[in-house]
A = this chain, B = another copy of it.
Amino acid sequence: MLVVKLGGAAGIEPGPLVKDLASYLNGAASGSEGKVAREVVLVHGGSSAADELSLALGRPPRHYVSPSGVKSRYTDRAALEVLLMACAGRLNKLLVEALQREGVNALGLSGLDGRLLTGPRKTAVKAVLDGRTVLIRDDYSGRLEKVNVPLLRLLLSAGYTPVISSLALSYDGEALNLDADRVAAGVACALKADSLVFLTNVPGLLSDPADSRSLIARIPAGKLGAFQDVAKGRMKKKLLAAAEAIAGGVNRVIIADARRPQPLTMALAGEGTVIAA
Chain A interface (Cβ < 8 Å from any Cβ of B): 53, 56-58, 81, 84-90, 92-94, 96-97, 100-101, 105-110, 112-115, 150-151, 154-155, 158, 160, 167, 169, 172-175
Contact = CB atoms under 8 A, between A and B. Distances in A.
10 contacts: A84-B89, A86-B89, A87-B89, A88-B92, A88-B93, A101-B173, A101-B174, A105-B114, A106-B114, A109-B113
Given A93-B175, A96-B113, A97-B169, 14 more contacts: A81-B94, A84-B94, A88-B89, A89-B93, A96-B112, A97-B112, A100-B112, A101-B172, A101-B174, A105-B115, A107-B114, A108-B110, A150-B158, A154-B154
Contacts of A150: 158
A85 B151 contact: no
Task: Classify the secondary structure of A's interface with B.
Answer: helix
A85 B53 contact: yes
Contact of A89 (B89, B109, B113, B155): B89
A115 B57 CA distance: 31
Contact of A115 (B88, B89, B100): B100
Contacts of A58: 56
Contacts of A81: 90, 94
